[in-house]
Amino acid sequence: MLNRPINNLLKKLGSKFIPIILGVFSTILVLSMLTSVMQKSVDYKEGQVATESIRANKTIENKTETNQKRQLASEAVTPEYTYQADLAQTQHDRVSQLITLIQKANSELDKNYQTKVSQAKDGEKVPQPTVDERVAAVKKNFEGLDQDTVTFYQQLPEEFYQSVVQLSSADLTKVGTESLKLLDEQMAKRIRQSDLAEYKQQAVDKVQGLGLSDEAAQTMRYLLEKGIIINDSLNQKRTDELKEQASDSVQPVMIFQGEVIVREGSQIDANAINKLKLLGLTSSSTSVFPLIAMCLAVILQGVLLWFYSRQFEIEFQRVRFILFYCATMTIGVLIMKILQSFQGSTSNSLALFFPAAFMPLILTVFVNRRAGALSAVFQTVFALFIYYKAIGTNMLPVILMTYLFSGTLAVMVKQKRLSDQVKQALLWIVAFPIIWSIILSIYQGMSFTDSQTWGLLLGAFAASILSFIMGMGLQPYIEILVTDSGVITLNELSNPNHPLLKELLEKAPGTYHHSMMVANLSANAVAEIGGRSLLTRVACYYHDIGKIRHANFFVENLPTGAENPHNFLLPEDSKQIIFGHVIEGAKILKEYKMPQMVIDICYQHHGTTLMKFFYFKAKERNPDTTEADFRYPGPKPQTREAGVVNIADSCEAAVRAMDHPSIDKITEFVHNLIEERISDGQLDDSGLTLKEIRMVEKSLINGLSSTFHSRIKYPRMQSEAEKMKEEQEKKGEE
């Protein structure tokens, strides 16, 4: 339908046609995606209500929150303590040793005093050891002790020593015994710095109930005060290590690109403002980088389209490819844009309802696989810009991978009608993309009990089904737009009520029946080799339409017993009339705007074969006559379908004229005719392989044999019929 307008426009614009189309196409794409990548100037303040969801424009660490979390983790570490159980025994030994040394010092001084008294003269007064002497005697015994023990003894105040040396032997013994008992009781506990004063006080409080003198009680207090020490001490080094490990184990708090900072309708609080400041979004102007990237992607597509279009040798095919691609991609981008405008800010699952397989599928069927692959890639590229606001979210990779996978698999479909390959198409367009969606869900760790997961799978399933239905349903109508030989058009042309077919039946009934027979033979043979069967059938209906001009000059239209008019014409005149049915037929078909291939088959169904009967007749009259004068104008068959029609047309006419055709005679004739056409070069340009030619030969033989060969009379048939008749009569009498 559009072929003629395109041709007319191409003639007017010439070489400017493709650049103009690409320019308009690129402009439409840029305008369609502009609002998706344009960023607004913003000035956010604390307390302001967000008019739309604010997302992070980049991935960055939130150092303030990271430091807060690390500090909390460090503070949450339990301090590491080292319990020294042996300190209880050490302190016990030190106190016990001190009491022993004091008793020893007192004993020695008292002994010396008694010795001096016994040796003193009468009336000589021996002074008793003073307190200081006793203290000095005690401390003199410290000289042989280890430094730690000496340090412990030195920590006791001087008042302790002055008091303890004055105690009686009994009091000193009791002080030692009771002190050790209380000391062991408290040191058996885990004593930390925070508990030390409490444990000391508990021990001191028990001294009151021992019934000691004030001096003895005070002495015990001194011993307990210094004897009870920390035995569960803080391991600062280990604690610091644990705090450092806890701090280091805290993962940095990240703000990911695409993360929602403030949802639409929510108030912007201080925390959100801090994040926006960190991202530089509190006051920002429009960024041009997404827009530049989008424009460059559109330009890249235009360059690739122009470069690829140069591979088409025919200018019209080049233009049709560009137009078809541009129209298809424009529709796809607009559908994506509509889906993007309807989806909410919290979910991008609506984008999965896009029929990503449809555009590559249509381009594959009507152009070629490379065109389909190109559209699969660029629809994914443009989806990146259309769903720009979803950047950084988990959904964007799902959307892009789904589009690319579905589009690429659609290219795998065979380049023929989907109705002829339903099972294969369902696998490539529906089944495999759904499996891929399940794989993506598993990869992202989605739960199959989650409604969101089923929503995503439902979107992928709906998009695949929609692509398949659109491909099946729209293919016939797209054919009407992009080709003149679509199924709907061909079905209309095959209607017996078509004016040309009605005219052919009225004016040339023999040719009409011949055309129907050739159509059946050719269509069946073309189907065997995988060609366009319906188009071949329709072309055969009209291939001899030119005979309506001089119907009676073709033998199949002569009434029974009528004289052949060629008997009254010169061979040269007969030749012109016969040749004329090809030229006249093509002219009539052009007037009726028939599909180009139907016109081509009309031209090519005789190829450049020799009109032998009239050639030999002319040769008898003029020996200088050449074969070139009696060959059809051609051209030779240029397609497989035309090649088949070329053979079937001659076979049908010849077998119809045979006397008593048998299967052997038909087989021999068809084989010889094909060999003759091959040797004459009539099939050189048709694209038929030798294998296909043999398949065509077999199909034609079967078709002609079932229609024309003479039937053998079987005597048994008559006897069996008579016997059956007799049985029926007997049943009637009963």
Q: What DSSP string describes 465-505?
A: HHHHHHHHHHHHHHHHHH-S--HHHHHHHT-TTSHHHHHHH
pLDDT of 11 > 70? The answer is no
Side-chain-side CA neighbours of residue 53 (13 Å): 12
**With contact defined as beta carbons under 8 Å apart, do 648 and 543 qualify?**
no
Nearest to 160 by CA among 92, 241, 215: 215
What is the structure's pLDDT at 376?
93
HSE (side-chain half, CA atoms, 13 Å) at 194: 3
Residues 6+ apart with CB under 8 A from 542: 493, 500, 501, 515, 585, 589, 594, 598, 602
Question: Residues 552-558: contacts with CB within 8 Å, 24+ apart?
Answer: 553/577, 553/578, 554/508, 554/510, 554/511, 554/578, 554/581, 555/510, 556/508, 556/510, 556/511, 556/513, 556/514, 556/653, 556/656, 557/508, 557/509, 557/510, 557/511, 558/510
Close Cβ partners of 581 (under 8 Å, ≥ 6 residues apart): 544, 546, 547, 549, 550, 554
Q: Residue with structure tokens 């995606």?
A: 33
Q: What is the arithmetic mean of pLDDT over 578-597?
A: 90
Confidence (pLDDT) at 713: 43
Structure tokens given for 301: 């597509």
* Segment 380-396, tens digit of pLDDT: 999 988 888 766 566 77
- What per-residue confidence (pLDDT) applies to 348? 56
Tell me the C-alpha distance between 196 and 179, whole Å.
17
For residue 645, the tally of other CB atoms under 10 A from its CB is 29
Alpha carbon distance 645, 648 (integer Å): 5
Cα 539 from Cα 597, distance rounded (Å): 8
Residue 354 and residue 433 in contact, taking contact as beta carbons nearer than 8 Å:
no
Indicate the pLDDT class of residue 379, thresholds 50, 70 and 90: very high
Which of 725, 646, 731 has its CA nearest to residue 687? 646
Residue 323 confidence (pLDDT) above 70: yes
- More confident site: 4 or 432: 432
Torsion of CA 120, 126, 131, 133, to 10 degrees: -50
Residues 149-167 have a mean pLDDT of: 88
Question: Torsions phi, psi of 60, nearest 5?
Answer: -150, 155
Three-state SS at 233: strand
Residue 208 DSSP SS3: helix
| Contact residues for 481 (Cβ-Cβ < 8 A; gap 6+) | 1, 2
Residues in the chain: 734
* Residue 347: predicted pLDDT: 52
- pLDDT on residue 267: 80
- Residue 570 to residues 110, 120, 620, 622, 625: CA-CA distances in angstroms? 176, 190, 12, 12, 13
Q: What is the pLDDT of residues 259-275, one digit of tens each?
A: 777 777 788 777 877 87
Residue 593, pLDDT > 60, answer yes
Q: Which of 511, 470, 545 is nearest to 652 (CA)?
A: 511
Closest-CA residue to 305 (of 32, 1, 29): 29
SS3 360: helix
**Locus of tokens 């990548």:** 37
CA angle 561, 564, 565 (to 5 degrees): 135
**Residue 719 to residues 711, 714, 732: CA-CA distances in angstroms?**
18, 10, 20
Per-residue pLDDT band for 538 (boundaries 50, 70, 90) equals very high
Amino acid at 626: T
Block residue for tokens 């000289």? 143
Residues pairing with 665 in the sheet: none
Rounded Cα distance, 612 and 534, in Å: 32
The mean pLDDT of the chain is 84
Query: Which of these, 242, 241, 244, 202, lies nearest to 225 by C-alpha position?
Result: 202
DSSP 8-state class, residue 430: I
For range 590-602, the mean pLDDT: 90
pLDDT score of 712: 44
Q: Which of 253-262, 471-480, 629-638 has the lowest mean pLDDT?
A: 253-262
Contact 654, 634 (CB under 8 A): no
Q: How confident is the model at residue 443 (pLDDT cuts 50, 70, 90)?
A: confident
pTM, two decimal places? 0.59
Structure-token match 């290219």, residue found: 411
- Closest by CA position to 375, among listed 396, 348, 357: 357
Model pLDDT, residue 728: 59
Q: What is the mean pLDDT of residues 209-232?
A: 87
Residue 446: count other Cβ atoms within 10 Å of its Cβ. 18
pLDDT of residue 717 exceeding 60: no
Rounded to whole angstroms, the Cα distance separating 119 from 113 reads 10
pLDDT in the model for residue 637: 94
Residue type, 83: Y
How do residues 336-373 score in pLDDT, each as one tens digit?
Answer: 988 888 765 445 578 888 898 889 998 888 888 899 99
CA distance linking residue 605 with residue 599, whole number of Å: 10
What pLDDT does 270 receive? Answer: 79
Q: How far apart are CA 72 and CA 422, in angstroms?
A: 63
Nearest 5°: the CA angle 288, 294, 299 is: 125
Tell me whether residue 540 is exposed, middle or buried, using C-beta atoms within 10 angstroms of its C-beta: 0 to 12, 13 to 18, 19 or more. Answer: buried
**Burial of 648 (C-beta count, 10 Å sphere; 0-12/13-18/19+):** buried
Contacts of 47 (CB under 8 A, 6+ apart): 267, 268
CA geometry: angle 212, 214, 219, nearest 5 deg: 85
